[in-house]
Structure 1
Amino acid sequence: MDVRQVSYFLAVVEHGGFSRAASALDVAQPTLSQSVRALERELGTELFHRVSHGVVLSAAGKAFVGPARQMLRSIAAVRHSVDSRGECAELTLDLVTVPVLAVHPGASLVGSFRRANPHIFVRIDEPDVDDGLHVLIRDGHSELGLSHLPLPRLGLDVVELGVQELWLAFPPGTDVGTDGPAPLTRLHGADIIGVPRGSWQRDLVERALRDHGIRTRLVVEAGPREAVVPLVLGGAGAAFVPRETARAAAGRGAVVRPTDPPLRQAYGLVHRPGPLSTAAGAFVAHARTRCATG
């Protein structure tokens, strides 16, 4: 097994096929295919199922993604430590985050980080469900995770950054009866737009409503989180959204309020114990500074 084989394997994974990976790497497709086949022979198992419409990862392939990325990060760290170019060496940051944190503070953090470190390539992944983020970190698929806290007991290190707060967004023209926070009791019997089960946001909302004996009607379950505000604006119902999203929705006509009691949860960066790569260490330091000052 060599670095090129592992790099080619990950390129096929990330580009969704051999032809697109070959084009991105500027290599001949037969060369790439032969390299991946050689890797499969060395591992003694197929990493991809070759199907009529392309390739899909086998069970072994899925299991190999994390170790493969971890291998390349370790090699990059060694090269960086002996590279006379120092911070100008090409580096990659692997970050996994749940959708609600990808928007805020994720987008702002990555944007300011890239402006300060234009030589670092950032790859952002999303878990199938929010709870799966910690497993992706533990298994090496990504080096850093932007996650809500506290964590399951998986032995990960935590860098707490701040607190996210949910507000209520109502359709335009809704009479909420106050300029201050909206009591959760006001939602008894209300039509609610929710996000899928297994998400931090839904768990927090359902726990708060249950604790206060409030029963609502879930009328829309929106898998695409970007659809929630348009659904509110279209009159489908009210929704719990992050404070920053609520303020943007207010500019489009939604009626928004903080909740009483407030709905808040901490968030931060998580990673496996031990030294971080140069790129990940730089991102952690950057996030600490940005969140402390902003």
Structure 2
Amino acid sequence: MDARQLRYFLAVVDHGSANKAAAALYVAQPSLSQAVRTLERDLGLALFHRVGRRLVLTDAGRALIEPARQVLRGLAAARASVESVAGLQVGRVEIAAMPSQAVEPLAGMIKAVTEAHPGLSVAVRAAFTADEVLHQVRSGQTELGLLAAAEPPAGVGVDLRPIGRQRFVLVCPAGGPFAPDTVVRHEDLAGQRLIVGQSGTGMRRLVDEIRAAGVELTEVVETEHRETVLPLVLGGVGVAVLADSWAPLARQAGALVLDLEPARHLHLALASRAGDLTPAARAFLALAYSPSR
């Protein structure tokens, strides 16, 4: 058993197939499949059921995931510790982040850390809900996570650091249905056509709460792709409830950003995996909390 085999095994787990795993790792698919088969022979157990072209984890495969991630993370930490002797000139941070929080504050955090340590690189992994962020950190897929929740988040097996709040706002086309500087009460949304996120997201939860309070709304678009919301609003398809991290981009694009009353907020937190972190991850956390950032 070697690190390459474990890395290939986890790539198949994370990407769902040998073809996608090979593409993500920039290796030939036969080479990847052969490495996984060699790993199975070394262990004496099948890690996947092969159902046609599909690979389905066996019990042995599921049992290997967490130890494999720990081994690769440990090797990365060892390499990073040696590299840090050179003054943290190189390194890599992996962080899971939800879409709105990836706009801000994550963009600002990345700017600060890459300016302070130009040799560092940051890999941002997508997660649509707080639970997904926590899962990626807890399982070792990433060292860090940036999440938002309607209530102050709590997580088992990870360290959580609160970093503030984001307010929900209403984003509308400049031509209506609301005038600039209007404070929009929830009941004012009656009859409006809304662009909403998928279930489990904060923006969708707030829309559902407003509807449950008796306000009649029409969901004209439901999207998992947050980047499509602003173009749809600007095109006059509907209005959208978004975190105020989108406000600068929305205003720059020509949309109206209006306050909602009563106000609703998301609580933000940075999550890190339990145990020792790589020097790069520690540097990221230190700059994320810097008062001057």
Q: Distance in 1 between matches of 2:159 and 2:225?
A: 30
Q: Distance in 1 between matches of 2:236 and 2:110?
A: 33
Q: Distance in 2 between matches of 1:56 and 1:20?
A: 17
Determine the structure 2 residue equivalent to 1:263.
264
1:212 Cα offset (Å): 5.0
Question: In 2 relative to 1, CA 49–124 (structure 1 residues): closer, same or farther, beyond 3 Å?
Answer: farther
1:229 Cα offset (Å): 0.9
TM-score, with length taken from structure 2: 0.81
Question: In 2 relative to 1, CA 121–255 (structure 1 residues): closer, same or farther, beyond 3 Å?
Answer: closer
Determine the structure 1 residue equivalent to 2:108.
108
1:221 Cα offset (Å): 0.7
Determine the structure 1 residue equivalent to 2:255.
254
Determine the structure 2 residue equivalent to 1:97.
97
Determine the structure 1 residue equivalent to 2:124.
124
Q: Distance in 2 between matches of 1:88 and 1:97?
A: 24
Q: Distance in 1 between matches of 2:38 and 2:259?
A: 58
Q: Secondary structure at the match of 2:215?
A: coil
Q: Distance in 2 between matches of 1:245 and 1:22?
A: 34
Determine the structure 1 residue equivalent to 2:196.
194
1:62 Cα offset (Å): 6.8
Structure 2 residue identity aligned to 1:216: L
Determine the structure 2 residue equivalent to 1:183.
185
Unaligned 5+ residue runs, structure 2? Answer: none
The CA RMSD measured in Å over matched residues stands at 3.1
Worse overlay, 166-175 or 186-195: 166-175
Question: In 2 relative to 1, CA 184–193 (structure 1 residues): closer, same or farther, beyond 3 Å?
Answer: same
Unaligned 5+ residue runs, structure 1? Answer: none
Instruction: Tell me the number of residue pairs that the alignment of Structure 1 and Structure 2 aligns.
Output: 285
1:145 Cα offset (Å): 1.0
1:31 Cα offset (Å): 5.6
1:16 aligns with 2:20: yes
Worse overlay, 273-282 or 5-14: 5-14
Asked if the contact 1:169/1:238 (under 8 Å) is kept, the reply is yes
Q: Distance in 2 between matches of 1:110 and 1:144?
A: 13
1:254 Cα offset (Å): 2.0
Asked if the contact 2:164/2:269 (under 8 Å) is kept, the reply is yes
Determine the structure 1 residue equivalent to 2:3.
3
Q: Distance in 1 between matches of 2:140 and 2:271?
A: 12
Q: Distance in 2 between matches of 1:66 and 1:259?
A: 43
Structure 2 residue identity aligned to 1:113: V
Question: In 2 relative to 1, CA 281–260 (structure 1 residues): closer, same or farther, beyond 3 Å?
Answer: same
Worse overlay, 65-74 or 273-282: 65-74
Asked if the contact 2:93/2:123 (under 8 Å) is kept, the reply is yes
Alignment identity in percent?
35
Determine the structure 2 residue equivalent to 1:232.
233
Q: Distance in 2 between matches of 1:155 and 1:11?
A: 23
1:231 Cα offset (Å): 0.9
TM-score, with length taken from structure 1: 0.81
Worse overlay, 102-111 or 65-74: 65-74
